[in-house]
Amino acid sequence: MPVSSYLDLHPEVAQAIAAGAPVVALESTIISHGMPYPENLETAQRLEAIVREEGAVPATIAIIGGRVKVGLEESDLLLLAQGKQGPVFKASRRDLSMLLAQKQYAATTVAATMICASWAGIKMFATGGIGGVHRGAGDNFDISADLTELATTPVAVVSAGVKSILDIGSTLEYLETLGVPVMCLGSDEFPAFYTRSSGFPAPARVNDPETAARILHTHWDLGLGGGVLIANPVPEQYAMDPATIQLAIDQALAECEQQKITGKEITPFLLGRIKTLTEGKSLFSNMQLVYHNARMAAAIARHWAQLSS
């Protein structure tokens, strides 16, 4: 069976793809695993509205009853946000075949969203922050599948850098090894999710979405393959104080180690503890940076569509 037999494209998304109009893929893990209800539902709705405001079509992606849905109905968003129908799994590349064959419900991570977007013919994807090399990966080999997906799947990912709970320097080194282009929007420094500064220089700087789109167009025209990471720093007014967020991260990491939390449970645990330790400030910053990424992704998608036509 062809891949298309597993896909359900929302009519609006299918029409936009066929017409060469700008489309922005959105992940669903932020709904089911990233935030509590009802903030998760409100965030998902707001993200789609922002993409529309910027002249593109939103395509939130999830696995619903064993179908890859590209573009969700309101009922699908609510289902993911509340999880009342049963467990909503967290899907990465390795999980897709099992979840589809068993007709499960799942939210897509960065890696899985990239794959599903590529299957549908979508080139632009907005998220919060990508996964990367975990601290202590030299001992436990904990490296996100997001990185290898960026090396193989031709989708551009707009994020606020790498989640700051990770080893940012090692992540950038690994992306370089994989040959993944990394550009930072309007900054000479790579961002650190909650803050605009990580202490690591930007591998490349671009100052506007039109230039970013032109680089994407050239990259794929050359047949270089794979994806591109576009790091979009959190707006200054929503950035957290570096010392405050670092204290919270350090404490959350220590608790994670003490409780021997591993695998897919690490990131949700850390983000939840950081939210508590910062009295909700990290969640607010997280929401704002995701909105900013969606707006930028839509702008780049518009320019890319113009170049492609």
The token pair that represents 6 in the structure block? 């597993």
* Count of structural domains within the chain: 1
Which position among 69, 163, 275, 281 bears the catalytic label?
A: 163
| pLDDT for position 256 | 84
Task: Name the DSSP letter for residue 195.
Answer: B
Task: State the catalytic residue, choosing from 27, 48, 54, 149.
Answer: 27
**φ, ψ (nearest 5 deg) of residue 143:** -130, 130
- Domain holding 214: CATH number? 3.40.1790.10
- The residue segments making up the domain with residue 78 are 3-308
Q: Is 27 a known active-site residue?
A: yes
Q: Is 163 a catalytic residue?
A: yes
Nearest to 183 by CA among 215, 206, 200: 206
pLDDT score of 136: 66
Mean pLDDT by 10 residues, the chain (309 residues): 92 98 96 83 95 98 97 95 88 96 96 98 96 71 91 98 86 97 97 92 97 97 96 95 87 85 74 83 90 98 94
* Per-residue pLDDT, 138: 57
Look at phi and psi of residue 154 and say left if phi exceeds 0, alpha if psi is from -120 to 50, else beta: beta
Task: Look at residue 264 in the predicted model and tell me its pLDDT.
Answer: 67
